[in-house]
Chain A
């Protein structure tokens, strides 16, 4: 069997594994088998202008970052891209065909036309199309990451591309803004802000900049996460005398109380991919641990977790729950398969790794890494690639959330 076929097969197995029952075990198998294919980009003829050059650099970096490729020299590698990049007026035109060395038929053949001053964004799109054509998986380059930064002296929300570029400050409220979470369509962000002096939950529509308070009850309003169908929000409220988990319907405004734990606090809800269950944090045993409950309430089930504390869960669309576990005095990112109870530690090294959020490929995880009291945002790979720092900007960066697309 030709090598690249083997690689595609492995990628396919990986996909199947994620849909099957022991995804974590399969990830290990896949990892040991090796997952990277060589790709030869020398067949793309790029013009000499700045925008075309920036496009090519970004494309190369994105393909490496995807985790599936190494860039090879001419005539090497299992994949070969042909095409052209040129500037016409204010527009960058890209032609791209992707071939595997095994078959003569193109795996992909696309034309692009995009504003030249946005060459990086176009490169992200092309990179994701190549990843999809070669592996059948969603890429991560076109996604965006929302996070909290304090460089201005206040905690404000920021957005950046998946490679850390194109940083935009979203709020300028000069108060405390925390805990951003994406809507499932990637058009809105939910977060908690002290804009009106108390912690309230806001919903921002990114394109219009329109912002509405969706929970400003007496006491605490925080931890909001939108259901996969976009109709409900799970959140933590204390209006009835104690922090508890609720579900609020966005259209009717109706509130359903999910937990009733007068002796405990709840935090950090996240929805299962089918929207039927919610994973959250509760300290009813005296320490915070993970629980899962039906979206309509009922008896919560304690989930296994290794550490003395298990917090900040993010239930990915691959069915796996990324969370943060306190082990040996530090916080590390773990991944739990709730169907088998198997848990694996993903982060390693010195410092605290917190607030994990799945990338759309179900392979990468963005999280914060605090070391010597400085916090930055990094990207982890559950298949073992070296972590990559996302933020190299001044100030502390935390609570990242990867957009769904």
Chain B
């Protein structure tokens, strides 16, 4: 509980610092680009992560992956609806958490892609926080380029592999 409290305090502090983000105190409806984490790639990356989940039940592939442009961790407008769907589901079941997995295509440095994948997962996490989901329910996990979903070596495979996936846990 202590951990949760300190996390909440950090969250609130972050919320005050970025008063427009309104972490955990999201006003209903009327989201504007400037309001939401995960869009501008700037100050959203100051939300510390909570403790990892234990060996819970995990449910993958309940939601559509969020796709990214090459070498980018910005959440495109076309992808936001998917994250809003995840937020809705998390709102409905309070005991559920989500692991956001960040993935890259095979091009570029393996080690750098581990960091880029994490940035993608964190961008989606920040968007969820912007939608009012408590950050302690959202974990991130980068696979870099180590776990492609499409096996090809062409533009279409690369597009499908630059993604964030959602894994729910209870």
Q: Counting CB contacts under 8 A, is B86 at the interface?
A: no
Q: Counting CB contacts under 8 A, is B143 at the interface?
A: yes
Cβ–Cβ contact A220 & B140, under 8 A: yes
Given contacts A178-B146, A218-B51, A220-B118, A238 and B109 within 8 Å (CB-CB): no
Cβ–Cβ contact B108 & A311, under 8 A: yes
Beta-carbon contacts of A275-288 to B below 8 Å, as 1s and 0s?
00000010100111
Nearest Cβ distance between residue A179 and chain B, in whole angstroms? 6
Chain A to chain B contacts (Cβ below 8 Å), 23 pairs: A176-B147, A178-B144, A178-B146, A179-B111, A199-B141, A219-B118, A219-B122, A220-B142, A236-B114, A236-B115, A242-B45, A262-B46, A263-B41, A265-B73, A265-B112, A265-B116, A265-B118, A267-B109, A267-B114, A283-B71, A324-B109, A354-B109, A355-B109
The tally of residues in B whose CB lies under 8 Å from a CB in A reads: 34
Cβ–Cβ contact A155 & B146, under 8 A: yes
Given contacts A223-B111, A354-B109, A399-B110, A198 and B141 within 8 Å (CB-CB): yes
Q: Counting CB contacts under 8 A, is B42 at the interface?
A: yes
Cβ–Cβ contact B48 & A239, under 8 A: yes
Cβ–Cβ contact B46 & A241, under 8 A: yes
Give 15 A-B pairs besides A236-B115, A242-B119 with Cβ atoms closer than 8 angstroms.
Answer: A178-B114, A194-B143, A199-B114, A220-B142, A222-B111, A222-B142, A242-B46, A265-B112, A265-B115, A281-B112, A287-B71, A309-B108, A311-B109, A311-B112, A355-B111
Residues of A within 8 A of B76 (CB): none
Nearest Cβ distance between residue B33 and chain A, in whole angstroms? 17
Quick one: closest A residue to B109, CB to CB? A311
Q: How far is the CA of A155 from the CA of B139 in the complex (A)?
A: 24
Given contacts A198-B141, A219-B140, A238 and B111 within 8 Å (CB-CB): no
Cβ–Cβ contact A222 & B114, under 8 A: yes
Q: How far is the CA of A228 from the CA of B116 in the complex (A)?
A: 28
Q: How far is the CA of A184 from the CA of B111 in the complex (A)?
A: 21
Cβ–Cβ contact A263 & B42, under 8 A: yes
B109 CB contact (under 8 Å) in A220, A241, A288: A288
Nearest Cβ distance between residue A167 and chain B, in whole angstroms? 21
Cβ–Cβ contact B109 & A176, under 8 A: no
Cβ–Cβ contact B139 & A218, under 8 A: yes
Given contacts A218-B139, A238-B140, A243 and B110 within 8 Å (CB-CB): no
Q: How far is the CA of A364 from the CA of B47 in the complex (A)?
A: 43
Residues of A within 8 A of B49 (CB): 217-219, 238-241
Q: How far is the CA of A217 from the CA of B144 in the complex (A)?
A: 17
Nearest Cβ distance between residue A223 and chain B, in whole angstroms? 5
A220 CB contact (under 8 Å) in B42, B108, B115: B115
Cβ–Cβ contact B50 & A218, under 8 A: yes
Q: Counting CB contacts under 8 A, is A192 at the interface?
A: yes
Q: Which 4 pairs across A and B sit closest by C-beta, in order of nearness?
A: A242-B45, A218-B49, A265-B115, A311-B109
Q: Counting CB contacts under 8 A, is B25 at the interface?
A: no
B115 CB contact (under 8 Å) in A198, A266, A286, A373: A266
Q: Which of A262-306 contact B (CB under 8 A)?
A: 262-263, 265-268, 281, 283, 286-288
Residues of B within 8 A of A238 (CB): 49, 118, 122, 140, 142
Q: Counting CB contacts under 8 A, is A398 at the interface?
A: yes
Nearest Cβ distance between residue A322 and chain B, in whole angstroms? 13
Nearest Cβ distance between residue A173 and chain B, in whole angstroms? 13
Residues of B within 8 A of A198 (CB): 52, 141
Q: Which of A198-239 contact B (CB under 8 A)?
A: 198-199, 216-220, 222-223, 236, 238-239
Q: Which of A154-190 contact B (CB under 8 A)?
A: 155, 176, 178-179
Q: Which of B33-84 contact A (CB under 8 A)?
A: 41-52, 71, 73
Q: Counting CB contacts under 8 A, is A312 at the interface?
A: yes
Given contacts A220-B140, A238-B140, A243 and B119 within 8 Å (CB-CB): yes
Instruction: Give the B-binding residues of A (Cβ under 8 A).
Output: 155, 176, 178-179, 192, 194, 197-199, 216-220, 222-223, 236, 238-243, 262-263, 265-268, 281, 283, 286-288, 309, 311-312, 324, 326, 331, 354-355, 373, 398-399
Residues of B within 8 A of A266 (CB): 115
Residues of B within 8 A of A331 (CB): 109
Q: How far is the CA of A217 from the CA of B49 in the complex (A)?
A: 9
Q: How far is the CA of A373 from the CA of B139 in the complex (A)?
A: 33
Cβ–Cβ contact B112 & A267, under 8 A: yes
Given contacts A199-B142, A262-B42, A178 and B110 within 8 Å (CB-CB): yes
Given contacts A155-B146, A241-B46, A242-B122, A218 and B108 within 8 Å (CB-CB): no
Residues of B within 8 A of A240 (CB): 46, 48-49
Given contacts A199-B142, A240-B48, A262-B42, A355 and B118 within 8 Å (CB-CB): no
Most buried by A among B41, B49, B153: B49
Cβ–Cβ contact B52 & A218, under 8 A: yes
Q: How far is the CA of A266 from the CA of B52 in the complex (A)?
A: 22
Quick one: closest B residue to A220, CB to CB? B118
Q: How far is the CA of A222 from the CA of B146 in the complex (A)?
A: 13
Most buried by A among B51, B115, B147: B115
Most buried by A among B108, B140, B147: B108
